[in-house]
Amino acid sequence: MDTVAPSLTLPVDDTASQARRARDARRGLAVFFALLIPFSLFFEALMIISGNRGLWVVPLMLTPALTSVVTRLITRQGFADVSFRPGGRRGFQGILFALFFPIVICVVSYGIAWTMGLAPFTVSLQNPLTRMLAGLALSPVLNFLLQLLLMCTVGTLINSFVTAGEEIGWRGFMLTRLIDAGAPYPVLLSGFIWALWHVPVILGGVYAAGAIPAVSTLIFVVMVTAFGVIFARLRLATGSIWPVIILHACWNAVIQNVFNGFTTGTYAWLWTDESGILVAGVMVLAAILVARGPWTIIRNSPRRGA
C-alpha cells in the first residue's frame, strides 16, 4: 500500500516504472472517455426526448462499467485493480460507514429545512412505498422510520446492482488512473467529471431538476464534486470497490425514496434533494472533514485481515 498526503503525491519507486504507469493510465483514460462520452450522451438523449427517466436510467448507469471493461480489453490492462475482494476489516468498516453516511447527511440537511419551514415534513401519498404502508395506520414518524429501515437494507441491496455499473467505472477504473496519470487534484477532478456526467439530464429536466434547471445544475455539480471526495477516500482507504457501491446504493435509496418523499413546499427543490443548497452545503463540510489527514492508497484489497 502507499501512504500519501491529501495532495495524493505518490512515492516514486523508480522513474521507469512510474513513467510506464502514467503512460498506461493516460492511454486507458483516453480510450475510456472516447467510449463513455458518446454512449452516455446517447442514453441521456433518449431520457430527455422520451421524458421517461426510468426506462433508460439503468443502461445509462451501466455505461461507465461497460466502457471500463471494453477499455481494459483494448488496452490489455487487466481487471485485478477493480478489487472485488471485501477488503477485510477496513472493508467492513467502510461498508458500515457507507450505510450510515447518507442518513447523517440527510438528517442534518433535511432537518434544517424541516425545522426552519423551508421545506416542510409531510407524508406524501405520491410515494409508492407510503401508499403501501398506508393501511397500517402508522404515524408519520413511524412511517418515515420504517421506510428508512427498508431503504437502508432491501432498497440498498436492490440499488447496488445498478450503482455497481457506475462505481466499477468511476472508482474502479477512472479514479486510480487519474492519480497514476498525474492529473492535477485527481480526487476533486474525479468528482467533477462524475458531476458533469449528470448535467445533460438535469438541464433536460429529467433528473434532480428544480424550477430553474440551470441553478439545480450548478448546485448539483458542487454537491457531487464534494461527494466524490468521500467516495475516493472510501475506495482508496479500503482497497475495495464494495464500500463505494454500497454508499452509492444507500444514498440513492435514502434520499430519493425516503427524504424526498416526506418533503414538500414550493421551494423544496432549492433547499433539498441532490441539487439543494442545504444538501450541497452539508456535503461540502463533510468532504472537508473526511479529506483531512494523510491518505492511504490500497490498490488491491487484502484477502483477509486488515
| 2 sits in which H/E element | strand 2-4
Helix (H) or strand (E) holding 259: none
- The whole-number mean pLDDT for each consecutive block of 10 residues of the chain, a chain of 306 residues, reads 46 70 93 98 94 87 97 90 83 95 98 95 73 70 90 95 96 95 95 98 91 95 98 94 97 94 92 96 97 83 56
Please list, residue by residue across 24-50, b when 16 or more beta carbons sit within 10 angstroms of its beta carbon and e when fewer do: bbbbbbebbeebbeebbeebbeebbee
Please tell me the predicted confidence (pLDDT) of residue 86. Answer: 82
pLDDT of the residue at 303: 59
Query: At residue 148, what is the residue type?
Result: L
Q: What is the pLDDT of residue 262?
A: 92
Q: Residues 171, 72: contact at Cβ < 8 Å? A: no
pLDDT of residue 143: 85
Angle at 155 between CA 194 and CA 50, to 5 degrees: 55
In this structure, the number of other CB atoms found within 10 A of the CB of residue 170 comes to: 25
Query: Whole-angstrom Cα distance, residue 197 to residue 133?
Result: 35
* Contact status, residue 83 vs residue 240, Cβ threshold 8 Å: yes
The confidence score (pLDDT) of residue 297 equals: 82
The pTM for the full model equals 0.91
Which residue's C-alpha cell is 421524458?
Answer: 51
Q: What is the pLDDT of residues 96-136, one digit of tens each?
A: 999 999 999 999 999 999 999 999 998 776 666 666 766 67
- What the block records as the C-alpha cell of 160 is 447496488
Contacts of 128 (CB under 8 A, 6+ apart): none
pLDDT value, residue 5: 40
Cβ neighbours for 66, distance < 8 A, ≥ 6 positions apart: 39, 165, 169
Phi and psi, residue 297, nearest 5°: -105, 115
